[in-house]
Amino acid sequence: MRVIPNLFPALQSESSGKGESEGLLKWVAGRGAHEVVVESPLHDRGLGDHSLQHLTDLLRVCRDRLRELMDDPDHAYVQLFKNHGEAAGASLTHPHIQILATPVCPDAINREANAFRLHQERQGGCLLCDLIRTEIESGRRVLRAGKAFIAMAPFASRVPFEILIAPRAHLESFQDLDPAGITSLAGILKEQLGRVKEKLQDPPYNLALHTAPNSRFRTGPYHWHLEILPRLVRLGGFEWGTGMYINPVPPEEAAKILLGTGTEHGRND
Ligand SMILES: [Zn+2]
Ligand SMILES: [Zn+2]
């Protein structure tokens, strides 16, 4: 595996200028970083196809890059993501992961952080810890309830077969994963990507890591997680216009299909 700067970076450390505004309009310099993690020399091996050892090494490399990039005071957030397949935005066919450090905290993270803060104020706990407990009690959307990690088809999934993977113990940042945690994550990630590939005939998908922003930009509690979004339906004007999603496969159905006909693997019902 190799980590290299993106040849066509969306953001880079040398960007000049600083934050300015003109009336209502505000902007910042596009300062940041844009790196490509080449997963392996093999052109036709998807993320879930690597050996457990290779995937573990790959995740450790990603964690180390996130640590370093998040330490830079110019970076408010570091986004790790993967586009698999052309329909998911992959412009380069060789399997790779991308890491983008941004000078501002993205709206999606701010929205989630807000929800975590509100939940803590109202209920006094962590939103995702509480959600994980609820999901394990119900069992209807659980894909794997491992010791260290849970995988589930999240309630009110935005797209068919959306998958959420999160550590069961409260952990704000992906960068704080220890070696045992990385090995467990590799195992559950490999299993879920394998199910997506096998049960859905290797669809295009996006994978995005959500982790706590740089501590200077943190507003409250957070609990890191991975989101996997298969691209089986096209998002259109309704989704753009409303932020609401029409999902023809409810997560309870998606879980059954991903698990196969049996009721193995961590389901309680
Ligand atoms: Zn938590
Ligand atoms: Zn999220």
Domain boundaries, the chain: 2-259
| pLDDT (0 to 100) of residue 262 | 53
Please give the model's pTM, rounded to 2 decimal places.
0.93
Question: What is the CA(73)–ligand 2 centre distance, in A?
Answer: 23
Confidence class for position 218, pLDDT limits 50, 70, 90: confident
Q: What is the mean pLDDT of residues 202-215?
A: 95
Mean pLDDT for 148-172 is 97
Are 147 and 127 within 8 A, CB to CB? no
Ligand nearest to the CA of 164: 2
Give the integer Cα–Cα distance in Å for 38 and 51.
Answer: 15
For residue 5, the cross-strand partners are 35
What band does 212 get if pLDDT is binned at 50, 70 and 90?
very high
Run of H or E residues at 14: none
The ligand with the least distance to the CA atom of 220 is 1
Q: Which residue spans within the chain are E strands per DSSP? A: 2-5, 20-22, 25-27, 33-38, 77-84, 96-102, 142-145, 149-152, 163-167, 205-210, 225-230
Round to whole Å and give the CA distance between 10 and 30.
8
* Shortest-distance ligand to the CA of residue 209: 2
DSSP strands (E only) in 24-76:
25-27, 33-38
Q: What is the mean pLDDT of residues 218-238?
A: 93
- Which numbered ligand comes closest to the C-alpha of 229? 2
What's the 4 CA to ligand 1 centre distance in angstroms? 33
pLDDT confidence bin for 261, thresholds 50/70/90? low
What's the CA gap between 162 and 176, in Å, rounded?
A: 25
Give the lowest-confidence range in 13-22, 187-196, 257-266. Answer: 257-266
Q: Report pLDDT for 129.
A: 98
pLDDT at 269 over 90: no
- Give the domain 2-259 fold: HIT family, subunit A (3.30.428)
Q: If you average pLDDT over residues 198-202, what whole number do you get?
A: 96
The alpha carbon of 196 and the centre of ligand 1 are apart by a number of angstroms equal to: 26
CB atoms within 10 A of CB 45: 15
Gap from CA of 116 to ligand 1 centroid (Å): 9
Q: Which of 208, 223, 222 is nearest to 62 (CA)?
A: 208
Distance separating alpha carbons of residues 84 and 95, to the nearest angstrom: 8
172 CA to centre of ligand 1 in angstroms: 7
Active site residues: 96
Size (the chain), residues: 269
CA of 130 to the centre of ligand 1 (A): 7
